[in-house]
Structures are given as C-alpha cells and as structure tokens.
C-alpha cells in the first residue's frame, strides 16, 4: 500500500494569443478546468499504475474541493485522510498559455497550506498500513518532516520528490529513504549542475552523505540516474514524440511508488517509472496524460 501526503489543486487554464500587460483585459479562449497539484497527480498516477493508494490532503469546503474528492474516489483512492477546511479555499493555479506554448502560472495554496500535524496524527493508521510513503513540497515543510519522521520510525520507505525546490533540513534528509529530484531541483539543492554521470554521482553523494539511501535524478528524455548501495548508473527511458511534459515527474514518482509497493527492486522500479513517464509526455495535460497499467503492458 502507498500513502501520499500532499497537495491538491484545481488548475484553471486559459489560452491567449499574447500575455496581458498589467492593467489590460484580454479576450482569451479555450478555458480548461483540470485537476492538479503534485500530491494529487502522484497519487492518481500510483493508483492508475496498479498501486493501492491513500491520500492525506486538505481542500476547501467549496466547489473545487468537493469536485476534487469526487475525482479522488473515481480514481480509486482511499480518501479517509482528506479534510475539507471550513475556513480556507481549495488550492488553485491560474495558468495562462500563449500561442507558442509558453505559460505563466500563479498558485494560491489555500487549504494545502493548512495541512497540519493534527490532521496527520488523526490519520496515523494510514501511515501504519502503508509500505511506501510519497511526499512532495507543496504543503508546509513542518508537516513533511512530521510525516517523514513518523513513517521512518515505523520502518516505512519514505520517498521525497523535492518539488518545487525548497531548502531542506538535515533532519528531513535523515528521515527519508529515497529522493527524486529533477536536474533543476538537484542543482538547487546540491549546487551541482548535471553534465554527465560523474556529476550525477557527485550530486547523489551529496544526498547519500546526508543519510538518503537511494537517489534518483530524473533527466528528462535521458531517463534517470539511480544511485543505491549496490547500483549506480543511468537508466534510459523510451524514445517518444514529446508533446507536453506536464506531469512527467508526477507520473514518474507515482509509478515508482507503485512498483516499489509491489516489491520490485530499485532498478526495475525506475525502469517502470521511466516507461510510464515517457508515455505521459506523448499526451497533453496533467492528470489527463497519466497512463494506466494496461497502456504500459501494451
């Protein structure tokens, strides 16, 4: 079983010819309302790819919050740990995309920022019941640390996807089993720019020295660099025609958690995650692009 503790947002996307200037009102087109947020995306990916998944998330008691819960249920997630906050609105992201595909994004975290230790304590049984706990950084860092400590002390495998990148404490590093940064996040956290396997190993060693057992640096079309006590090297991904890399990282992390929860070893789990994430970049959208197990098995 997998537990995701993380964010859920509703993405509001509008297409424009050109970005508006301050004070300007434009007529846009193609309004889309999409389920998003890294926690939600990764939970949905893990479930679609065969995992038994519970999510601890915090939503507003509003239209978006209720819609998000319905979506979670439709995806087969255990929603016992989801709280509708009566004071704060659901997290939203306002996204404007221009003709060339460039975007500007404003996120209002809302209830995500109130996912607190009390809510986590109330759902301690969900931590107990899981083998893999998957975390990201769109909820308060104190809550991330709290879950990581509790889960690690119970012998659970904690995977941290450090996105969006934030400075992390040594205490947090000491309480995670695996970390899965992309190249940008790796550079932010370690100061090391990935230019090849040697620099990837240097970056991995930075995390190992802080107590992280397994390091996976995702490398976009180049796949992922995996460093464990018994393996180190780059695992290639499938060559695909990329149309939209939104949620590639989320698909990767959800797939990884699903594979590990079924007892797969790290090399096989990363290869599986590569396959799933490569498929996700062949489709537009976030959750809309996340594949199902049957898509991977062909």
233 is in an annotated binding site: no
Rounded distance between C-alpha atoms, residue 149 and residue 158, angstroms: 9
Tokens linked to 44: 């949905």
Contacts of 8 (CB under 8 A, 6+ apart): 35, 36, 37, 39, 40, 55, 57, 58, 59, 68, 72, 90, 91, 112
Q: What are phi and psi of 89, to 5 degrees?
A: -75, 165
242 binds ligand ADP (CB under 6 A): yes
Nearer to ligand ADP, 89 or 220 (CB): 220
Rounded distance between C-alpha atoms, residue 39 and residue 41, angstroms: 6
Rounded distance between C-alpha atoms, residue 199 and residue 246, angstroms: 26
103 binds ligand ADP (CB under 6 A): no
Rounded distance between C-alpha atoms, residue 282 and residue 244, angstroms: 7
Q: Is 198 exposed, middle or buried (0-12, 13-18, 19+ CB in 10 A)?
A: exposed
237 binds ligand ADP (CB under 6 A): yes
15 binds ligand ADP (CB under 6 A): no
* Catalytic residue positions, numbered: 250
Q: How many residues bind ligand ADP (CB under 6 A)?
A: 18
Closest C-alpha to 247, from 81, 23, 85, 43: 43
In the complex, least distance from residue 216 CB atom to ligand ADP, rounded to whole angstroms:
8
29 is in an annotated binding site: no
Among 36, 37, 81, 223, binds ligand ADP (CB under 6 A): 223
Please answer whether residues 9 and 91 qualify as being in contact, where contact means their C-beta atoms are separated by less than 8 angstroms: yes
The residue with its CB nearest to ligand ADP is: 249
Reduce the DSSP state of residue 67 to 3 states and report it.
helix
Nearer to ligand ADP, 116 or 245 (CB): 245
245 binds ligand ADP (CB under 6 A): yes
165 binds ligand ADP (CB under 6 A): no
289 is in an annotated binding site: yes
User: Under rule CB under 6 A, which residues in 191-220 are in contact with ligand ADP?
Assistant: 218-220
User: Under rule CB under 6 A, which residues in 18-77 are in contact with ligand ADP?
Assistant: none
Strands 78-85 and 91-97: unpaired
User: Under rule CB under 6 A, which residues in 123-152 are in contact with ligand ADP?
Assistant: none
105 binds ligand ADP (CB under 6 A): no
252 binds ligand ADP (CB under 6 A): yes
- Residues contributing to the annotated binding site: 9-11, 37-41, 138, 182, 218-223, 244, 246, 249-250, 274, 280, 283, 285, 289
Q: Given the rule CB under 6 A, which residues bind ligand ADP?
A: 182, 218-221, 223-224, 237, 240, 242, 245, 248-249, 252, 274, 277-278, 281
- Residues contributing to the annotated binding site for ATP: 182, 218-223, 249-250, 274
């Amino acid at each position: 079983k997998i537990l995701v503790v993380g964010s859920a947002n509703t993405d509001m996307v509008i297409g424009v010819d050109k970005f508006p200037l301050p004070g300007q009102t434009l007529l846009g087109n193609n309004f889309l309302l999409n389920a998003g947020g890294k926690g939600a995306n990764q939970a949905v990916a893990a479930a679609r790819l065969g995992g038994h998944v519970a999510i601890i998330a915090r939503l507003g008691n509003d239209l978006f919050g209720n819609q998000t819960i319905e979506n979670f249920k439709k995806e087969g997630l255990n929603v016992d740990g989801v709280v509708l906050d009566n004071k704060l609105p659901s997290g939203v992201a306002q996204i404007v995309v221009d003709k060339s595909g460039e975007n500007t994004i404003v996120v209002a975290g809302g209830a995500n920022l109130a996912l607190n230790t009390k809510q986590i304590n109330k759902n301690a049984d969900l931590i107990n019941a899981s083998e893999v706990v998957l975390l990201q950084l769109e909820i308060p860092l104190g809550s991330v640390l709290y879950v990581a400590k509790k889960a690690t002390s119970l012998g659970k495998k904690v995977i941290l996807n450090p996105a969006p990148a934030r400075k992390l404490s040594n205490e947090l590093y000491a309480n995670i089993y695996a970390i899965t940064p992309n190249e940008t996040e790796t550079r932010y956290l370690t100061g090391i720019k990935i230019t090849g396997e040697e620099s990837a190993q240097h970056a991995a060693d930075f995390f190992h020295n802080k107590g992280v057992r397994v390091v996976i640096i995702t490398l976009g079309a180049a796949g992922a660099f995996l460093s464990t006590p018994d393996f180190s090297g780059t695992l290639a991904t499938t060559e695909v025609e990329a149309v939209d890399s939104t949620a590639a990282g989320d698909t990767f992390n959800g797939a990884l958690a699903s594979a590990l929860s079924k007892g797969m070893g790290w090399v096989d789990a990363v290869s599986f995650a590569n396959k799933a994430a490569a498929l996700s970049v062949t489709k537009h959208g976030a959750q809309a692009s996340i594949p199902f197990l049957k898509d991977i098995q062909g």
